[in-house]
Amino acid sequence: MQNPCSPNVFVVDREIYQRQYTPLSCNDVLLKLKPEYNSRYEIEDLASAIGQSTNVLHVIDLPDAGYKAITISNSPTISIPYQELFNITFNLPCPEYILPVRQDVVSPSNPQGIAGLRPTAHDIFMTILGQVANLNGVALVDYYEFPDYNALVIRLNDPNHPVLGDGRFLSDQIEQQNSTGHIAQLEWSQIVPNSVKRTVPSNDTAAGGGQGTTTRSGSNEVQVNADIAILDTGVSLSHPDLNVYRNVSFVDGVASGDDDQGHGSHVAGIAAAKDNSVGVVGVAPGARIWAIKICDKLGECKVSDQIKGIEYATKHADEIDVLNISIENSNSPALNNAIKEAIKAGITVVVAAGNYGTDASSSSPANSPDVLAVSAIGDSDGKCGGGGPPLEGSRGEIADDSFAFFSNFGPSVKMSAPGVEIFSTFNGTSYALDSGTSMAAPHVTGAAALFKAQFPDASPAEVISNITSSGTLPGATCQGGPGGYFTGDADGLNEPLLIREFRPR
């Protein structure tokens, strides 16, 4: 719903509680370049030419593996230029299968070799990709190369295809994906949202101070010296309140990391909206944002695309400090394995607990053991005591300083933060109120960025330990400020509540 404000303010009306997972949509056409043309044509050039008359979804270029292919949208009036160059498969079937490769197979010490030369892990993986991709009845969707995790994603015309029994893959970890995951007039001088009042330092030194924590630009904006990756619907590239440093898209047919849905921009603003005298201010103001778009304009997020985004972040682990994933999926060991690789590379991963109102152990990535999973509370006044007005949840009121009924809970959850009616940046240059554990997670992401700005060499485990140990627990004294705790914790495990006085130990 849009209000007559300038800039625009939206009250986001989306179903967040126990939202059902959407089946994968499969109505596309695979164009495999015929082997005799592999050395004569660049697949990107062909995709550009074909894209003039039809919608190109995905391009895979594996010259070392002898495989080049384009996926395009199907339609009753489809016309395929240069079709004589391709082997064409219409109506590729669902689901997607994620096949992890056994590490001993891709190990450089593997005895396979050519003319006595020992192939690298990359060489072996490329060989496997080419062999599988060129099998009859197989369509290669994507592939991932982490230091200790290699996998490929395929679609099959036969659910009993023999490739599923190929001994090079971990048969007990082959994952079948049938559905997508999904995302969980104000005064126009700059305001600090109540949720952020409760969770951000009260001044530049409240997060520990010291050299390197913040800098100021020529316009006197506070800029936290840290990099936050937002794995989401993208982030608005035109919003004056967001410092988007890099952007990339892994959504088929979408070229940039610009946000066409709003969710990722809202998450980014909570974590890092600029302290620039207008709009809102985030927990880690002005931190550099990496917009990694892996969800489409409907907020649907294929697991295979999420893993591709995590792979991208991992390859930039020397720059990215914190990765925020405000997405919920059914359990996915493949996704969790990719996240494990990002954490091993030094990235602190903060995730939403999920919005099913149940134990988070069945939801990825919240059940990934080394992430910082965040539940949601309602906080209407930015201070403790429960004296603020009630908030509107997706199915009723949520009392001030109480656990949100929609929030997942359980042993996987390590922290809680405000997540109801949170005010933040949105699409274009607008702002919005939105709710969900999606909104709780970036409060903690901002706190992690503040810590990394002061202690850039801190490991993910050290970041998580310091943030969680700084939160409040039941029995914390409430003196009218941001201290205290919340009521109604669904499981009685009492995860720490992030507060304004967060200080590195």
Q: Which residues are catalytic?
A: 232, 263, 438
Q: What is the side-by-side order of every strand in the sheet holding 181-183?
A: 300-301, 181-183, 327-330, 363-364
Given a contact cutoff of 8 angstroms between Cβ atoms, the answer to whether 237 and 210 are in contact is no
Beta-strand ranges (E) seen in 201-271 are 214-216, 222-224, 227-232, 244-249
Given a contact cutoff of 8 angstroms between Cβ atoms, the answer to whether 449 and 224 are in contact is yes
Q: Which SS3 state, helix, strand or coil, does residue 179 take? A: strand
Q: What is the DSSP letter of 362?
A: G
Q: Which SS3 state, helix, strand or coil, does residue 171 take? A: helix
Given a contact cutoff of 8 angstroms between Cβ atoms, the answer to whether 190 and 280 are in contact is yes
Task: Kindly state the helix (H) or strand (E) to which residue 57 belongs, with its residue range.
Answer: strand 56-62
Residue 234 has phi, psi (to 5 degrees) of 100, 180
Q: Which SS3 state, helix, strand or coil, does residue 334 take? A: helix
DSSP β-bridge partners for residue 149 = 146
What six digits make up the tokens of 305? 């695309």
Separation between Cα atoms, residue 57 and residue 51, nearest integer Å: 9
Given a contact cutoff of 8 angstroms between Cβ atoms, the answer to whether 85 and 69 are in contact is no
Q: What are the distances in angstroms from CA 340 to CA 99, 311, 345?
A: 17, 11, 9
Q: What is the DSSP letter of 236?
A: -
Q: Which SS3 state, helix, strand or coil, does residue 258 take? A: coil
* C-alpha triplet 192, 198, 202: angle, nearest 5°: 70
